[in-house]
């Protein structure tokens, strides 16, 4: 595939990404909290490996879990990596029993290796997702027996535009750096309905800010790979636009309208991660652990409390012979487990997530891959007034690879 075709594909995918980000990317009621739920999108082989990748190299495509991995790309190698996610959710709790679905792009990334000296990648992907709906909330008008009804809907989320850079320091040691720009909007639309009028409150919060991170990878005795990442704490600045309008006697009037009003900054905490992987012939085993120190942000929310977050991930993959000329011997089979303690505690109960995944990497030509994975997850609980989510996620990712910057030679 020539360069112009790569650029065309990337341009088309960027356009579809912009369209998908204007729609709901989740149906989780827990996205009402903070800036939404963490995006469930996965990239490349990582989503089939239980979202592990801190110690993994770039032999199967771009690895966005550690910027140091970019140093392991082959000299003059180029990757174009993009994919999509379908999420099917069953909600249960008290008298609730609903099924919902959403579809979105997971990421758009392109990267290359500069003559064996360094690897660099540019990525656009969702960071958090918001998509909740509260309908038919009944309340009494104070001093009266008359009731009114409230409907609340929230949409939006944050996007991440990121530059990753990885470089080999020694034969066994790689270092990496990443710089991310987080931006997006969260819109809440509230309708208050009485027998004689209809009040609508539309509030749109805009957030933006940068974040820096580092990564290390070290190979020990050719069989053991270790990884370390750190994402430094940062604050996102915010503004909001509010429009309050009223329908009465079939006429609409604006009661209040404000723009660019400052709101409280949102703090994102320090995150550290550790990874280990090893190969036993063609069997790969990998494990990650990461921790986010949300308690140190000293933030509060009317719905719940911020608590420190722990994520444990395990994965395994197997192929008969990755260098074989026979197609099915090169196919990569994957599985993984993931536990995320969450950073939200409501009614003294953690909103944690358990997930199991399976995946497959199908070769396309000599260097490219079609990655398909399925993940079943369980978030929340039916205890107290809470809601449990059974989440079925399908990730499809294409990693196109080629060699660029090489001059043709003639005998």
Distance CA 309, CA 297 (A): 12
pLDDT at 354: 94
Mean per-residue pLDDT, 145-159: 82
Taking 60 as the threshold, does the pLDDT of residue 120 lie above it?
A: yes
- pLDDT(23) > 80: no
pLDDT digits (tens, 9 = 90+) for 318-341: 999 888 888 888 999 999 999 999
Q: Round to whole Å and give the CA distance between 333 and 319.
A: 6
The 3-class SS string of the chain reads CCHHHHHHHHHHHHHHHHHHCCCCCCCCHHHHCCCCEECCCCCCCHHHHCCCCCCCCCCCCCCCCCHHHHHHCCCCEEEEEEEEEEEEEEEEECCEEEEEEEEEEEEEEEEEECCCCEEEEEEEEEEEEEEEEEEEEEEECCCCCCEEEEEEEEEEEEEEEEEEEEEECCCCEEEEEEEEEEEEEEEEEEEEECCCEEEEEEEEEEEEEEEEEEEEEEEECCCEEEEEEEECCEEEEEEEEEEEEEEECCEEEEEEEEEEEEEEEEEECCEEEEEEEEEECCEEEEEEEEEECHHHHCCCCCCCEECCEEEEEEEEEECCCCCCCCHHHHCEEEEEEEEECCCEEECCEECCEEEEEEEEEEEECCCEEEEEEEEEEEEECCCCCCCEEEEEEEEEEEEEEEECCCCCCCC
Predicted local confidence at residue 233, as pLDDT: 96
pLDDT band at residue 16 using 50, 70 and 90 as cut-offs: very low
Q: What is the pLDDT of residues 255-280, one digit of tens each?
A: 888 999 999 999 999 999 999 999 99
pLDDT band at 197 (very low <50, low <70, confident <90, very high): confident
What is the pLDDT confidence band of residue 143, given thresholds at 50, 70 and 90?
A: low
% of the chain residues with pLDDT over 70: 86
- 347-379, pLDDT tens digit by residue? 788 888 999 999 999 998 777 899 999 999 998
Rg, C-alpha atoms of the chain: 23
The whole-model pTM stands at 0.87
Going by pLDDT thresholds of 50, 70 and 90, the confidence category of residue 219 is very high
What's the pLDDT score for residue 142? 62
Predicted confidence (pLDDT) per residue in 37-87, tens digit: 888 666 778 999 999 999 999 888 889 999 999 999 988 888 888 888 888
Mean pLDDT of the residues in the chain: 85
Which pLDDT value is given to residue 97?
75
Q: How confident is the model at residue 286 (pLDDT cuts 50, 70, 90)?
A: very high
What average pLDDT does this structure show over 221-229?
Answer: 93
pLDDT at 208 over 70: yes
Q: Quick one: pLDDT at residue 40?
A: 67
Q: What is the pLDDT of residue 140?
A: 61
Looking at residue 322, its pLDDT comes to 83
Say if residues 289 and 274 touch (Cβ distance below 8 Å): yes
Of 178-182, 192-196, 213-217, 399-403, which range is least confident? 192-196
Domain 3-403: which topology? Porin (2.40.160)
Place of tokens 């719905």: 303
> Residue 384 pLDDT more than 80?
no
Mean pLDDT (whole number) for 87-114: 82
Between 152 and 219, the higher pLDDT residue: 219
Higher local confidence (pLDDT), 241 or 252 = 241
pLDDT of residue 265: 92
pLDDT category of residue 405 using cuts at 50, 70 and 90: low
Task: Grade residue 19 by pLDDT with cuts at 50, 70 and 90.
Answer: very low
Give the mean model confidence (pLDDT) for residues 208-216: 97
For residue 172, pLDDT beyond 90? yes
Q: Span 14-30, mean pLDDT?
A: 56
Band of the pLDDT at 198, cuts 50, 70, 90? confident
The pLDDT of residue 20 is 46
């Amino acid at each position: 595939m020539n360069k112009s075709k790569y650029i065309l594909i990337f341009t088309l995918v960027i356009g579809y990404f912009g369209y998908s980000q204007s729609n709901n990317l989740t149906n989780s009621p827990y996205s009402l909290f903070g800036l939404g739920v963490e995006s469930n999108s996965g990239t490349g082989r990582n989503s089939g490996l239980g979202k592990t990748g801190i110690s993994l190299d770039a032999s199967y495509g771009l690895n966005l879990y550690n910027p140091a991995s970019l140093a392991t790309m082959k000299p003059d190698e180029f990757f174009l990596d993009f994919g999509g996610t379908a999420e099917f959710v069953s909600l249960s709790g008290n008298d609730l029993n609903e099924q919902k679905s959403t579809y979105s792009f997971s990421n758009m990334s392109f990267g290359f290796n500069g003559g064996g000296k360094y690897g660099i990648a540019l990525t656009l992907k969702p960071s958090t997702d918001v998509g909740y709906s509260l309908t038919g909330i009944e309340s009494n008008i104070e001093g009266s027996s008359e009731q009114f009804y409230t409907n609340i809907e929230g949409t939006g989320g944050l996007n991440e535009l990121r530059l990753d850079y990885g470089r080999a320091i020694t034969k066994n040691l790689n270092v990496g750096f990443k710089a991310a720009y987080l931006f997006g909007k969260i819109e809440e639309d509230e309708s208050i309905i009485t027998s004689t009028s209809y009040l609508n409150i539309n509030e749109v919060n805009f957030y933006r800010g940068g974040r820096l991170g580092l990564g290390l990878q070290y190979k020990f005795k050719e069989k053991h790979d270790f990884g370390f990442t750190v994402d430094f704490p940062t604050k996102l600045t915010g503004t909001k636009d509010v429009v309050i309008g009223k329908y009465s006697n079939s006429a609409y009037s604006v009661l209040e309208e404000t723009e660019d009003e400052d709101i409280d900054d949102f703090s994102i905490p320090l995150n550290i991660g550790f990874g280990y992987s090893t190969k036993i012939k063609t069997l790969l085993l990998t494990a990650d652990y990461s921790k986010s120190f949300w308690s140190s942000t000293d933030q509060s929310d009317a719905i719940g409390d911020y608590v420190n977050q722990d994520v444990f991930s395990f994965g395994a993959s197997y192929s008969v012979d990755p260098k074989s000329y026979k197609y099915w011997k090169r196919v990569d089979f994957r599985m993984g487990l993931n536990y995320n303690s969450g950073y939200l505690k409501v009614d003294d109960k953690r909103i944690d997530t358990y997930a199991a995944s399976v995946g497959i990497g199908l070769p396309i030509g000599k260097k490219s891959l079609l990655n398909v994975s399925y993940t079943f997850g369980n978030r929340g609980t039916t205890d107290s007034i809470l809601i449990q989510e059974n989440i079925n996620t399908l990730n499809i990712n294409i990693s196109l690879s080629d060699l660029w910057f090489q001059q043709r030679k003639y005998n």
